Amino acid sequence: MQDGRKLGHHKSLLDDIQTGRGVLAAANNPDYGAGILTRVKPAVITRLDGNLKTAADDPDKNLCKDVINTKKAAAVATQEESGLYDDLMAALRLIQKAAGDTYKKDKARRAAYLIGKKDFGDNRATLEVDASAIIALAKSDTTVGFLPADLTSAQTALDDWKQANSDQQAAQDNYSHAVQALRDIVAPINDDRRTIQAAADILYPVKPASNAPTRRAFGLPPNRPMKV
């Protein structure tokens, strides 16, 4: 059984799966199973069983595991990207400082180095273009006297960050796809579970009160009919 805490914001999907498990167990209980089969096709119960295995109950591979594993991978990739982003920004700031010290009154050159640019580096979508422009300018600028090692470090930092940023986006996409795959299978689980519950609601009505334990087994309220 999967730990709902590891699914984070998607714990409700595991709650639906758990409800489906309970309903399936009740439908397979010999005390009620024969009655359920008078109103529910066997294929519905078989399909519910198969979808539950795919969603969470197959010990080797299931969609809940996929969500948990891709979530962990996305977290690792995000941490890696964040660290390399910091390295890149430090390298770019070093170039900007040297350029700023050299071109204290040259507004055009300062602007070319993006010195004073509002929210510089905050937007990942434009950072690659901005960083590439700064590094290319620094490599061609013979006035400032940049150290070759600093320019090499800056280019390496940019290349490393670009790869990490791409990896992070791919990992996040994998996580999103895993969550959607789980959602897609929980939907028919809920449909089949409700079909069985609707049959149980008719077969085991609120009255007599002795039906209460059976209704609970099917996830039905013991003292009121199932909401349609």
Better pLDDT: 61 or 82: 82
Domain boundaries defined on the chain: 4-71+179-217, 75-171
Is residue 184 predicted with pLDDT exceeding 60?
yes
Share of the chain above pLDDT 90, in %: 89
- Asked whether the beta carbons of 84 and 178 are under 8 A apart, the reply is no
Hey, what long-range contacts does 136-139 have (CB within 8 A, 24 or more apart)?
Answer: 137/112, 137/113, 138/95, 138/99, 138/113
- What confidence category does residue 8 fall into, taking pLDDT thresholds of 50, 70 and 90? low
Q: Averaged over 55-65, what is the pLDDT?
A: 90
Mean pLDDT of the chain: 94
Q: What is the pLDDT at residue 1?
A: 47
pLDDT category of residue 5 using cuts at 50, 70 and 90 = low
Q: What are the Cα distances from residue 40, in Å, to 67, 191, 211?
A: 32, 12, 19
pTM: 0.84
The predicted structure's pLDDT at residue 116 = 93
- At residue 80, the pLDDT reads 98
The pLDDT tens digits for 31-40 are 888 899 999 9
Highest mean pLDDT (candidates 32-41, 57-66, 133-142): 133-142
| pLDDT number for residue 113 | 98
Residue 211: strand, helix, or coil: helix
DSSP H helices, the chain, are: 11-27, 33-36, 42-52, 63-102, 107-112, 124-140, 148-203, 212-217
Q: pLDDT at residue 147 above 60?
A: yes
- For 57-61, 73-77, 120-124, 154-158, which range has the lowest pLDDT when averaged over its residues? 57-61
